[in-house]
Amino acid sequence: MTKKPVSQVLIALDPGSTEPLYKQLSKALVGAIEQGHFNTAELLPSSRTLANDLGLSRNTVNLALQMLLSDGYITSIPRVGHTVNPDFQAHLNDQPRPRSESLGWERRLATDTSDFGHIWKPANWSTYPYPFIAGQVETDMFPSKSWGRAMRSALIPEHAGASLHDLVDRDDPLLIEMLRRHVLRGRGITAKPEEILITLGSQHGLGLVAAALLGSGSMVAIEEPGYPDARHMVRSRGAAIRALPVDDQGAVIPSDLSDVDMVFVTPSHQYPTNATLSIGRRQALLSQASRDDFVIIEDDYDSEFRYLGQSTPAMKSIENSGRVIYLGSFSKFLAPGLRLGFVVAEPPLIEHLRDLRRYQLRHPPGLLQRALALFIESGDYNRSVRRIRKIYKEKWAAMSAAVETHIPWPVPIPTGGLSIWVTGPPDFDATTMAELAIDQGVVVEAGEPCFVTQPIPRNHFKLGYASTPLPAIEPGLAMLARVIDRLN
């Protein structure tokens, strides 16, 4: 049984008090037991230790211990010492933990996030037989072996400095080089090293850009339906939102955007409809940006997953004004849990984002950066993307067929992305459907949080399939169809 030193427990005695010292000591020891500093598995400090450490006579300490024994707080183990009485411990365990008075945190918080609506899924979504959710992956698709190799290589002496040293505000130069050569080039983007910042995912990139460029009084145009997290990040900077309607060619570009400071778009696969922003609209948006002097955030989170036709080049690759701030992510091509992404923008902005990032977290882990760099350099990254794209293409084909068979309304099937957006008749309640589906083992994301304009429609939902096992697609959608049938 261990014995805890008295120095680890606060025992404050007041020699000037009229209360005898032995009573003060017994009260202090009861307080320490109540706060969990001692338990039945350890010995109290011996009377000699207590006397020495607290500058008391052995008599005073023994009197205090006697009092605790007779009151049943502690028990004596002959020739060993004292420990907390198990009955008293059991009583303490049954007590609700005393809660401290609330400090009125709501009043102290700088931003109010209480009405931010989120895409909801159960925390244990992966245990459901039919998880149709976006933003997650099947863990056994992850290239664990080659990633493990890259992680081990990142620790050999040649790479250990980059992996283990504090980079302060810098990034791993090898990762920057690999991004330039193997990732950005594939998107048609040519960028100098000083135009790239590594982030903990594109959401982190957007948070940094919002912190750098937005404040109260700013206006941001965001697609509606759109990515709720982007909207929330913008709003938490105090900026106002202007909704950009969306159709089958992506965001509709209004002729006047002179009131906005920033436009947030997802051109490759519009979130959540997956429509691809047409080339005409891309050009219209770029011209509009010059005319009305705003910047464009291009969130290119899942560009690699196109199953029909060619990938459209990034907007960043067809502009030379520097107005496009490009957000990239490895969440979809590798795994969201890695938390790795990047921003491409003009050097003065990147330098400022670097400063902001430094005071948040210095830099994304060097070990992850170097491992990713080696993973790309070895060719494993491109192999992995090709393999995963093939699997997703099979899932996309299975989804398209099953949606056609089971969903009772016409559903536009996108040519890429990782989900299918379904719009029911105006009076259909997809939020209730999603709740009922859970009981049948089907997890579906209701579309409500993607909207801002009142009245919020409830007739849309999203069928993600990156994390759905291929064999679960057909029976899962058949099951969903039965739930829809009950509601119709």
User: Quick one: which of 337, 317, 344, 339 has its CA closest to 329?
Assistant: 339
Tell me how far, at minimum, the Cβ of 366 lies from ligand PLP, in Å.
19
Query: Looking at 301, 326, 333, 451, which residue binds ligand PLP (CB under 6 A)?
Result: 301
Residue 60 or 266 with smaller CB distance to ligand PLP: 266
Q: Is 336 in the site for ligand PLP (CB under 6 A)?
A: yes
Q: Is 331 in the site for ligand PLP (CB under 6 A)?
A: yes
Residue 65 or 184 with smaller CB distance to ligand PLP: 184
CA 333 to chain centre: 16
* Closest chain position to ligand PLP (CB): 201
Tell me how far, at minimum, the Cβ of 135 lies from ligand PLP, in Å.
4
Residue 47 or 202 with smaller CB distance to ligand PLP: 202
Give, in order, the Cα–Cα distances in Å from 267 to each of 162, 302, 319.
34, 10, 14
Q: Count residues near ligand PLP (CB under 6 A).
A: 13
Query: Looking at 128, 132, 271, 333, which residue binds ligand PLP (CB under 6 A)?
Result: 271
Site for ligand PLP in 150-169 (CB under 6 A): none
Query: Looking at 171, 172, 261, 299, which residue binds ligand PLP (CB under 6 A)?
Result: 299
Site for ligand PLP in 386-425 (CB under 6 A): none
Tell me how far, at minimum, the Cβ of 419 lies from ligand PLP, in Å.
9
Print the binding letters for residues 219-248 with ligand PLP: x by CB under 6 A, - otherwise: --------x---------------------
Contact 94, 86 (CB under 8 A): no
Residue 65 or 385 with smaller CB distance to ligand PLP: 385
Residue 51 or 133 with smaller CB distance to ligand PLP: 133
Tell me how far, at minimum, the Cβ of 299 lies from ligand PLP, in Å.
5
Query: Looking at 45, 81, 131, 201, which residue binds ligand PLP (CB under 6 A)?
Result: 201
Residue linked to tokens 């002097």: 293
Query: Looking at 341, 417, 449, 464, which residue binds ligand PLP (CB under 6 A)?
Result: 341
Q: Is 304 in the site for ligand PLP (CB under 6 A)?
A: no
Q: Is 203 in the site for ligand PLP (CB under 6 A)?
A: yes
Tell me how far, at minimum, the Cβ of 300 lies from ligand PLP, in Å.
9
Q: Is 135 in the site for ligand PLP (CB under 6 A)?
A: yes
Q: What backbone phi and psi angles, to 5 degrees, belong to 181?
A: -80, -40
Q: Is 375 in the site for ligand PLP (CB under 6 A)?
A: no
Binding window for ligand PLP (CB under 6 A); candidates: 139-147, 200-208, 314-322, 452-460: 200-208
The one-letter code for the residue type at 331 is S
Tell me how far, at minimum, the Cβ of 467 lies from ligand PLP, in Å.
11
Q: Is 266 in the site for ligand PLP (CB under 6 A)?
A: yes
Chain positions contacting ligand PLP, by CB under 6 A: 135, 201-203, 227, 266, 271, 299, 301, 329, 331, 336, 341
